[in-house]
Amino acid sequence: MGILDSKIPSGPLADKWTKHKNDINLVNPANKRNIDVIVIGTGLAGGAAAATLAELGYNVKTFCYQDSPRRAHSIAAQGGINAAKNYQGDGDSNYRLFYDTIKGGDYRSREANVYRLAEVSGNIIDQCVAQGVPFAREYGGMLDNRSFGGVLVSRTFYAKGQTGQQLLLGAYSAMNRQINRGKIQAYNRHEMMDLVLVDGKARGIIARDLVSGEIERHSAHAVVLATGGYGNVFFLSTNAMGSNVMAAWRAHRKGAFFANPCFTQIHPTCIPVSGDHQSKLTLMSESLRNDGRIWVPKKKEDAIAIREGRLKPTELAEEDRDYYLERRYPAFGNLVPRDVASRAAKERCDAGFGVNKTGEAVFLDFAAAIERYGKEKALTSGIKNPDKATITKLGEEVVEAKYGNLFQMYEKIVDQNPYKTPMMIYPAVHYTMGGLWVDYNLQTTIPGCYCAGEANFSDHGANRLGASALMQGLADGYFVLPYTIGDYLSDDIRTGAIPTDSKEFEEAEQQVRDRMEKLMGGSGIHSVDYYHKKLGKIMWNKCGMARNEKELKEAIEEISALRKDFWENVKVTGTMDSKNQELEKAGRVADFLELGELFAKDALHRNESCGGHFREEYQTPEGEALRDDENFKYVAAWEYVGEPKDAKLHKEDLVYENIELKTRSYK
C-alpha cells in the first residue's frame, strides 16, 4: 500500500510556511514571461490564482463553462469568511483559528496546511478591502464580525448575506485588469474534457467550446484545477446545477489520486425538499443561527397538528417547544458545527417531530431576536416604555439590515413571511471536503497539475466549519499557489512553448471524441436527468447523512449497474459539433456515476464515524460520531485502476504534534 509524500516542511508549526517560502525556488520576472499556466475554473480559488499569477508575469489562460467568471458558484456563498484578526478582542488568534478548524474537521485535517490557512487569513481581508469589497462595519468604522458554528469567538467577516458575490467581484476585477493587459486569455463557455500528459507531466488540456461544439487543444507548462466540489453527485444539493466533477475526475483517470471522497458536508440550514419536481436546493446561511433559535414541538401530537395545518407554530407556547440544540449542547447551542446540527435535526424528524408536510423540517425562529433587538433599538432611540408593536417593528428593521436578502429569498421560495412565522429548514448536501490529493505545495500526484480550493482535499478534514470555504479558496489562490507553483516552474524557464501537435495531444483529443461518440450512441430509452436522479436517490438513501456496511455494499453494486445501463441506454439528442447541453450533462453525469461508486467504497472502508462521515455501527451511546484514531488517522487517497470499485488505496498518515486528539465535544 503506497505511502504519500506530503512534502511538509520541517521545523516548528508556526515557522513552516515562512521557512518553506525562503527555501523553494523562484522564477525571475523576465523568465515568467516565457511560462504559460492554464487555470480551470474562475471562482474564488481560480480567479484569485489567475489574477495573481498574471500579475506576477506568467501568461495565463482561464477556462470556465459559464458565460462569465462572475457566474462561478462562489457567488452563492452567503454568510462570511473567517480570519483571525481578533477585532472583537474576544481571544481569537492564529492558533485558535487553527485549532477550531482541526477540531471542527474531527481531527482528519493536515496540521501544516491548516496552520498556514490560519496564518494567511488576515492577509485575505486586507486584500479584499483594498479591492473595495464592502464588508459590514460597526458603528466605529471597524470591520464587523459575527459568529459561526463550532467556535466560541466572532471571526467571520461578512457583506450582509452576499459575501461570496462581493468577494468574487473583487477577484473578477483583479482578473479583468490582467485581461486588459493581455496577461490573461479568458475562454468562457469552454469545458475541460481531458488533461494532457507529456513525459508524465501535465502539459495542457483538451477543451470543448460549448457554443460551437469545437474541440480545442491548449498547452501550458502547468495546469491548475480550481473547479469546486462534487455535491451534485447527490442530484439535489445546494450547488449550482452546472457544478460538476469533470475536470478533477479526468485528472484522476490520468493519475491524480482522489482523497476522502466520502467526506461530504450536509448543511443543516436549507429550505426543505418540496417535491420530485425540484432540480436543486436553496441554502439559508449559517449566519442565521447567530440569532435564530432551532426548535421542534415537545409533543408529537403538536408536531402532527402543525403538519396538518391545525396548529400554527406561533400558537405553540414556549414551554411546549424543544430547543433541542440548546438542550443537548449548552456551551455552543445553536452554533454547533454543521455535521452535529444536521444529525440532530434528522434525529428529531426521524423520531416523529418534523414540522412540514413530509415530516422532514424543523423551525428556525427569529421571534426572540426580533424582540431583543427591538428593545435595544428602543432604548438607544430614547423611546420609553415602547409597546409590543413598536418593539417588533424596530426589531424587524435590525434583522432586515443584517439578513434582509436571505429573508426575502426565503419568502419568494416558500411564500411565508419569516419575520412573522418561523422558517422551516432541513439538512441538505452542501460542500465536499474530499477532492484531489495534493501535497503542501497544492500539487497533485501528477507533476505540473495543481489543485486549489474546494476541488482539493487538504484543509477541512471530515467536516468544514462555516465561513472557511471562502477563506481556503482565496488563501490558495492569492497567497499559496503563486509561491509554490514557482518552485515547479523554475525548471521550465528554458523549455519554450509546448507544442499541441504532438502524439500526446492527438491521442487525448481522439479519446475525447471517442467518448462523446459513445455517449451519443446510446439506445435513447432514458434521459440524462433520469440517470442523475436515480444516482442521487441511491447516494442520499445509502451514502447520505447516515451510512452502514450493508447499504454501502448495495450502493456500490447498484451504481455499477446503473452506470452500465446509462452507457447502453442514455438518450442524448443533437450533434457533437454544435451547441448541445444534453451532451454536456451526459458527460458530467457519466463522471458522477464513477465518482459515486468510489464515494461508497471510501465510506465502506472507513470503519469509524468522523465529522460528516457517520457510520451507524460506530457511534457513542448519545448518538455522537465515534472516531477510531488508532486505525483510521490517515487520508485515504485512491488511485484509478479502471473500475472505481477496484481503486487502489494509498495512505497519508496524519501526524498531530501540536494538538492533543480529544473526543470532539460541543457540550
Known catalytic residues are 338
Cβ proximity of 635 and 654 under 8 Å: yes
* Other beta carbons within 10 Å of 142: 11
Q: Nearest-CA neighbor of 483 among 41, 58, 42, 43?
A: 58
DSSP bridge partners of 349: none
For residue 298, give the DSSP letter: S
| Nearest-5° Cα angle at 404, 428 to 167 | 70
Q: What are the b/e assignments for 85-97, b being 16+ CB within 10 Å? A: bbbbeeebebbbb
Q: Nearest-CA neighbor of 433 among 597, 262, 269?
A: 262
**Cell reading at 490:** 523554475
Q: Nearest-CA neighbor of 469 among 285, 653, 282?
A: 285
**Cell reading at 52:** 495573481
How far apart, in whole angstroms, are the C-alpha atoms of residue 311 and residue 306? 5
How far apart, in whole angstroms, are the C-alpha atoms of residue 227 and residue 247? 7
- Which helix (H) or strand (E) is 252 found in, with range? helix 246-253
How far apart, in whole angstroms, are the C-alpha atoms of residue 256 and residue 411? 44
Q: Within 13 Å of residue 454, how many CA atoms lie on the same side as its CB?
A: 29
How far apart, in whole angstroms, are the C-alpha atoms of residue 609 and residue 546? 10
Classify residue 653 as left (phi > 0), alpha (psi -120 to 50) or beta: beta
| Nearest-5° Cα angle at 549, 545 to 550 | 100
Reduced to 3 states, what is the DSSP secondary structure of residue 229?
coil
Straight-line distance from the first to the last Cα atom of the chain, in angstroms, rounded to the nearest whole number? 39
* Other beta carbons within 10 Å of 276: 6
How far apart, in whole angstroms, are the C-alpha atoms of residue 664 and residue 108? 12
215-219 vs 648-653, strand pairing mode: unpaired
Q: Which parts of 65-155 fold into alpha helices (H)?
A: 94-104, 111-131
Q: Which parts of 502-652 fold into alpha helices (H)?
A: 503-520, 528-543, 549-569, 581-605, 629-632
How far apart, in whole angstroms, are the C-alpha atoms of residue 525 and residue 530? 10
Q: Nearest-CA neighbor of 599 among 639, 629, 555, 642?
A: 555
Cβ proximity of 608 and 618 under 8 Å: yes
